[in-house]
């Protein structure tokens, strides 16, 4: 098991196995509460934004399965064309062995002549995609990353009738069948306020094929996804 423990002004990355008596610090590239993690092909991956380089730093951790607690780490930096627009991001491992970076952007519309919102660009979002927030549109960009080469490529299809569920700090692929109420190649996500510590009680649905989004019926209950642990 591994846990990301946030502390004031810094982050601590540590793991604890069933046979251990104490936590083992992993260290890392100065994590904060904006880091995100996933488990993929027997290794843990943590992702952290590098504002100075407009890139994401991906941190690979392999933990020993027996004996004394030990681990090995590697890092890769991934340039991201839409980095400046990324509001929330996730690392996700799929059943096909693909490691993915998912970015949720809120596209702001502005007149190019006035450049009212410099730094935001148009990703050719269809007009029928309704905004969840005034003056913005919800857009998801999914890229498969190749850790060894440090390269990435855009993903337009999840394959094998899968849907992706995203919470504030959780992510999970689910295979859907014809009888399911869930739709393949869609992203189901909880809607957040700009404040990272608060939630809106709403769920959004994003069509990866059409790149359009819609809001699912409101609920008065707190919304987040529950996913299996490993």
What confidence score (pLDDT) does residue 137 get? 65
pLDDT at 217: 64
What is the spatial distance between Cα 163 and Cα 142, in angstroms, rounded to a whole number?
13
pLDDT of residue 13: 79
- Rounded distance between C-alpha atoms, residue 32 and residue 4, angstroms: 9
- pTM of the predicted model, to two decimals? 0.70
The CA distances from residue 33 to 30, 62, 170, in Å, are 10, 21, 14
Residue ranges of domains in the chain: 1-79
- Residue 69 is predicted with a pLDDT of 82
Average pLDDT per block of 10 residues along the chain, 230 residues long: 62 81 77 69 81 75 84 78 69 79 66 35 40 56 83 82 82 77 84 50 80 70 46
Q: Which two tokens stand for residue 218?
A: 């409101």
pLDDT value of residue 112: 36
């Amino acid at each position: 098991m591994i846990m990301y423990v946030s502390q004031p002004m810094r982050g601590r990355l540590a793991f604890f196995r069933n046979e251990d008596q104490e936590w083992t610090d992993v260290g890392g590239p100065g994590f904060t509460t904006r880091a995100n993690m996933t488990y993929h092909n027997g290794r843990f991956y943590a992702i952290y934004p590098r504002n100075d380089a407009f890139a994401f730093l991906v941190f690979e951790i392999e933990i020993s399965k027996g004996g004394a607690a030990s681990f090995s780490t590697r890092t890769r930096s991934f340039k991201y064309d839409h980095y400046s627009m990324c509001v929330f991001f996730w690392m996700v491992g799929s059943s096909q062995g693909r490691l993915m970076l998912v970015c949720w952007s809120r596209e702001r519309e502005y007149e190019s002549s006035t450049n009212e919102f410099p730094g935001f660009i148009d990703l050719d979002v269809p007009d029928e995609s309704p905004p969840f927030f005034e003056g913005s549109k919800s857009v998801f960009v999914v890229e498969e990353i190749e850790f060894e080469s440090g390269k990435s490529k855009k993903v337009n299809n999840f394959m094998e009738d899968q849907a992706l569920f995203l919470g504030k700090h959780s992510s999970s692929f689910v295979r859907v069948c014809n009888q399911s109420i869930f739709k393949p190649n869609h992203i189901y996500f909880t809607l957040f306020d700009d404040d990272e510590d608060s939630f809106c009680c709403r769920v959004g649905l994003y069509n990866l094929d059409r790149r359009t989004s819609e809001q699912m019926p409101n609920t008065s209950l707190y919304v987040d996804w529950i996913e299996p642990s490993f």
